Amino acid sequence: MGENPLEAICITIGRISMAVQTNLSKLIKIPQKPTNVQISVSPPTPTASMLAADSYPPHSTDTNTKAGPVTREELGRATWTFIHTLGAQYQEKPTRQQKKDVKELMAILSRIYPCKECADHFKEVLSSNPVQAGSQTEFSQWLCRVHNVVNRSLGKPTFPCEQVDARWGKLDCEHRMCDLQGTMTPFDKY
């Protein structure tokens, strides 16, 4: 043998390595790449169960939000929260436009509130208790009274209206930046 002995050793190691790989691949199942399979890049259409699950959309970071429809009670609580907060934040000296707006809002609620029975009942409540919105105190007390009318009709305890300011307040917003401005009508700025 006139060859380089190192070359012979390298060839032998290469053969042993090939033999080991061949035998190992027979023992271990290596996953095969799929062939002729189209990979979809669009997200899956959410099913009803996905939408109801807390985890949808998948990358949402808000873990406290329950997805899905609300109950009549949840809707009621949310709406009263909105209305009483509006009452707390209402101007002590409202503009004519602001008085008109809250009256219209109540009338609209009685037409489109998404619980027909509640909307119909509220329409009756409004007709026997016309909106009083001459000042912040007047409006928040009126709201308390009409909420109590609804409470009574549902067999719930009534709320002491002298405590309405303690229960509800202005929106907790930095530097009172969320306070309503009483100077402009919605169209003045255009």
Q: Which stretch binds ligand FAD (CB under 6 A): 52-60, 79-87, 94-102, 181-189?
A: 79-87
Distances (CA, A) of 20 to 17, 32, 34: 5, 20, 26
Query: Is 80 a binder of ligand FAD (CB under 6 A)?
Result: yes
- Listed in sequence order, the residues at least 6 apart from 26 whose beta carbon sits closer than 8 Å to its beta carbon are none
CB 68 within 8 A of CB 46: no
Q: CB 59 → ligand FAD: shortest distance, Å? A: 33
Cα–Cα distance, 4 to 142 (Å, whole number): 105
Residue of 79, 91, 135, 141 interacting with ligand FAD (CB under 6 A) = 79
Nearest CA to 73 among 180, 156, 163, 165?
A: 156
- Tell the smallest beta-carbon distance from residue 157 to ligand FAD (Å): 8
One of 8, 12, 60, 77 touching ligand FAD (CB under 6 A): 77
Q: How many Å apart are CA 55 and CA 61, to the nearest integer?
A: 9
Please identify which residue in 13, 154, 171, 173 interacts with ligand FAD, judged by CB under 6 A.
154
Q: Is 162 in the site for ligand FAD (CB under 6 A)?
A: no
Task: Say if CB 88 and CB 169 are below 8 A apart.
Answer: yes
Pick one of 167, 169, 171, 185: the residue that binds ligand FAD (CB under 6 A). Answer: 167
Do 67 and 52 contact (CB within 8 A), yes or no? yes
Hey, which residues between 107 and 136 contact ligand FAD (CB under 6 A)?
A: 109, 113, 117-118, 121-122
- CB of 79 or CB of 95, closer to ligand FAD: 79
Report the alpha-carbon distance of residue 153 to residue 150 in Å, rounded.
5
Provide the binding-site residues for ligand FAD, judged by CB under 6 A. Answer: 72-73, 76-77, 79-80, 84, 109, 113, 117-118, 121-122, 144, 147-148, 150-151, 154, 156, 159, 164, 167
